[in-house]
Amino acid sequence: RNVEGEALGDVKSFTTTAMTQEQAMDIASTSFLAYWQALKNYNAGMTAGVMANHTTASWSNYAWLDSSHEPRTPWDNSPDYHEAWMTLNVWNGLYGLVQEVNDVIYAIEEQGLEMGSGDEHHTKVLATMYFIRGVSHGQLGLTFDQGWVNQDNGDLSTYPLSPWSDVIEAAVGDLEQSISIADGDEFAWDNDEVSGMVIDADYLGRLSASYAARFLVLGSRTSEQNEDLSWTSCDWSDVLAFAGNGITEDFAPVGDGGPWQGGTWWDLHIKYLRNPGWGRVDMRVMHLLDPSQPLRFPTDNQGMPVLDELPENGMAYSEDARLLTDFEYLPTHNFTPDLGGWHFSHYRHSRYDYPETTNSEGYHMGESLGPLRELRVYENELMLAEAMIRSANDVAGAAAIVNDAENPRKDRGELEDVAEEAEALLDAIFYERDIELIHNGYLLSYGDMRRRDMLQQGTPLHFPVPGAILEWLDEENYTFGGYFNADGVNTSDGGDWIKPWYHFAEVEIEIDGNGSTSPSEGVHLLNKGYNEIFAYPGQGWVLDKWVVDQSDEYEGSVLNIDIQSESLIQAFFVETQDPQYELTLSLQGEGNIVPQSGSYYLMEGESISLEATTDDPDWFFVNWATDEGVEVSDEAAFSYTMPGNDVSLVAHFETEVTSGDGWDNPFSVYPNPASTRVFVRNYEGLQKVALFDVTGQKVYGALVSNQQDYTLEVTDFTPGVYLLRLTGTEGRQHVQRIIISHR
């Protein structure tokens, strides 16, 4: 999957070598392509679009599923993570390029290396090297929380890691240097270096300015930082100046097909994020086009999709003509419901299809054919308009850009003019960035959501240094993300726009007195709808009452409550002189029990709910039994009524038993998989037959009178994996995994 051929998990050494004129020219002439492939390879840019609720996908590829959980979970920064290469590819690709560029700059500036006859290519090579180093550092600063600011040809592993803000500052400085070097010169790189484009001195200077503006615009991690760019020595007036001198022609090298087709100029992000069957357009974006569409696909209290709540099966209508030219409606869904209905969407981005589906522009980026739009003139214009508002309060100037008849909002979208009001214009600017710039540029949607505090709570605000790099540096691993880790510094504490649509709610449980609860005291995320909260008094204590949201009172050891929003649940325990008996719970094997192992104190006749589960596919629940081995229940979840004496109960888990092990007379269970019947043959003294689903719930049970053969009808069971338990005389048991398939 790494088109450059590196083994997954490999770390580049980033070493330096002496430089000849030929080597320097080769690095310079291929540097645009090297930068492009590092940026457009399989990497974190593909992941970030899903994290930003711009694209949606529930597939496990490219860390999409892991990064789009609701609630959000931490980024797995282990070097062994199966998607670790998503961040490692960016780091290796760009820092490997930076090291080569540094060698060239050092050779020219420190060793006097001449470029070409009479040093004729001096300016072209040097300006290009500063540009490449600038954009490489800039993209690294947008992606990671820290990185190396490497501006000489030393060994990178000896450099300290600097915060992201310093990395972007260094990038802007290099881009300013490139502008200064190129200013007034007449050099040019032609189609051999940048497919389909001529990069002359003027264009390189303008491209450097546009990239500098982009890094400043997208760099902020919070809306507060975005207001005045407080994280940098620059401000919005610098963005205004950079964008004012930015590109007048798209930076869009012409693609020549994917790497599997022998191409070299490609964009692997858009290939999958808009390809039928892979990614779709997130409902948040569809809501922008048609406000009658919900911000998130409706789900039930378990997160499963609710398919009948969308009008006309999700068909959108919009005043924006681009709905029909850039987006394709699909009546069915291609995602797995139990991975989260929030992933669902009826639309995919089709603007860059080949062959065309909803438009005929001739831009076939989806298959890496035609111009590959990385930085567009329109993006530069939108940055300019935003900077006018934020730095100079030039609302009229911003309105002139937004309402320009030749810009896409009017020309392609056919939308009405926006009023000359700052807030309305900023909304229109971000709307255009979401709709028109979709799948243009690295980290655009992620950066825009980040700087507006719109990333879902628990979403990383940047990625950690890849775990493989930390291991190589002998540094401690770390990571970001997770709903309860939201600090607004490294992990988003925003995303308020989506919270009313969640299928879960935040619930805080407090305890007064001596006792415990399940879930335990603290803050939890519980599915909306009815939930059971259990109380377990300490010795000599009883539950007095439950209090919900400091107003409603309830009695009983089990609180059955309908949770729809953030709630506070308090359990009040009081001392008692009534006789209590000790219930000791434990488990044998690999599994979990609720309540957890320990001692609980109940009165005679009082009931308690017990449940045994296991996440290990090699272990199965067998039964609840006393510590003397007397079976109490073969149900994983049941209600136990306390007798007038102390009791110890053990939840037994066992590994699968191979058919016939430990038996005088071998027996057989067949067929497996089974479609209609399962036959048990020659099982001496068979007493009980039970079938359990993978959660441990019994779905079938039968008593048998010492017979040897049994036939189990399975046609009425849902296809899947089950556990068959056979019990013989003297309690002998056999547990076996059975697959039911009705094919």
- Count of CB atoms within 10 A of residue 391's CB? 17
Q: Stretch 649-674: mean pLDDT, rounded? A: 72
The answer to whether residue 233 scores a pLDDT higher than 60 is yes
Out of 304-313, 634-643, 664-673, pick the least confident.
Answer: 664-673
Portion of the chain with pLDDT greater than 70, in percent: 96
Element (H, E) at 348: strand 347-349
Cα(74)–Cα(479) distance, integer angstroms: 7
Portion of the chain with pLDDT greater than 90, in percent: 76
Q: Any long-range contacts for 583-586 (C-beta under 8 Å, 24+ apart)?
A: 583/608, 583/640, 583/642, 583/646, 583/647, 583/648, 583/649, 584/646, 584/647, 584/648, 584/649, 585/610, 585/648, 585/649, 585/650, 585/651, 586/648, 586/649, 586/650, 586/651
Q: What is the DSSP letter of 59?
A: S
Instruction: Give alpha helix (H) positions in 503-645.
Output: none
411 versus 5: the higher-pLDDT residue is 411
Three-class DSSP category at 561: strand
Q: Quote the pLDDT of residue 8.
A: 45
Q: Quick one: three-class SS letters along 475-525?
A: CCCCCCECHHHCCCCCECCCCCCCHHHCCEEEEEEEEECCEEEECCCEEEE
Q: Quote the pLDDT of residue 3.
A: 41
The answer to whether residue 669 scores a pLDDT higher than 70 is yes
User: Backbone dihedral region of 401: left (phi > 0), alpha (psi from -120 to 50 degrees) or beta?
Assistant: alpha
- CA neighbor of 190 nearest in space, from 204, 177, 179, 176: 204
Q: Quote the pLDDT of residue 158.
A: 80
The answer to whether residue 289 scores a pLDDT higher than 60 is yes
Cα(385)–Cα(503) distance, integer angstroms: 38
Q: Stretch 40-63: mean pLDDT, rounded? A: 96
Cα(528)–Cα(552) distance, integer angstroms: 18
Tokens 């993006």 belong to which residue? Answer: 379
Give residue-wise pLDDT tens across range 403-440.
Answer: 999 999 999 999 999 999 999 999 999 999 999 999 99
Confirm if 541 and 563 have CB atoms less than 8 A apart. no
Q: Quote the pLDDT of residue 360.
A: 84
Confirm if 185 and 127 have CB atoms less than 8 A apart. yes
Q: What is the DSSP letter of 674?
A: B
Three-class DSSP category at 619: strand
Three-class DSSP category at 441: coil
185 versus 3: the higher-pLDDT residue is 185
Locate 433 and state its tokens.
């960035």
Task: Give the chain's mean pLDDT.
Answer: 92
Q: Quote the pLDDT of residue 657.
A: 53
Q: Quote the pLDDT of residue 612.
A: 92
Report the predicted TM-score, pTM, of the whole model to 2 decimal places: 0.86
Exposed, middle or buried by CB within 10 Å (0-12, 13-18, 19+), for 693? middle
Report which residue type is found at 714.
Answer: V
Q: Quote the pLDDT of residue 614.
A: 84
Out of 27-41, 95-109, 487-501, 646-660, pick the least confident.
Answer: 646-660
Q: Any long-range contacts for 487-490 (C-beta under 8 Å, 24+ apart)?
A: 488/222, 489/221, 489/461, 490/145, 490/460, 490/461, 490/462
Element (H, E) at 691: strand 686-693
Cα(53)–Cα(113) distance, integer angstroms: 49
The answer to whether residue 1 scores a pLDDT higher than 50 is no
Confirm if 192 and 264 have CB atoms less than 8 A apart. no
Q: Stretch 664-677: mean pLDDT, rounded? A: 81
Q: Stretch 626-645: mean pLDDT, rounded? A: 90
Q: Quote the pLDDT of residue 10.
A: 62
65 versus 668: the higher-pLDDT residue is 65
Cα(409)–Cα(418) distance, integer angstroms: 10
- CA neighbor of 462 nearest in space, from 490, 488, 435, 487: 490
- CA neighbor of 146 nearest in space, from 193, 87, 204: 87
Top-confidence range, 308-312, 444-448, 471-475: 444-448
Indicate the pLDDT class of residue 630, thresholds 50, 70 and 90.
confident
Cα(583)–Cα(651) distance, integer angstroms: 13
Q: Quote the pLDDT of residue 318.
A: 98
The answer to whether residue 2 scores a pLDDT higher than 50 is no
159 versus 229: the higher-pLDDT residue is 229
The answer to whether residue 122 scores a pLDDT higher than 50 is yes
Q: Quote the pLDDT of residue 7.
A: 42
Q: Quote the pLDDT of residue 263.
A: 95
Confirm if 456 and 72 have CB atoms less than 8 A apart. yes
What's the CA angle centered on 355, arms 349 and 357, to 5 degrees?
Answer: 45
In DSSP terms, 537 is beta-bridged to 515
Q: Stretch 281-297: mean pLDDT, rounded? A: 97
Cα(37)–Cα(14) distance, integer angstroms: 18
Cα(401)–Cα(385) distance, integer angstroms: 6
Cα(238)–Cα(85) distance, integer angstroms: 35
Cα(596)–Cα(580) distance, integer angstroms: 19
Confirm if 369 and 354 have CB atoms less than 8 A apart. yes
The answer to whether residue 550 scores a pLDDT higher than 50 is yes
Indicate the pLDDT class of residue 671, thresholds 50, 70 and 90.
confident
The answer to whether residue 245 scores a pLDDT higher than 70 is yes
Q: Quote the pLDDT of residue 728.
A: 84
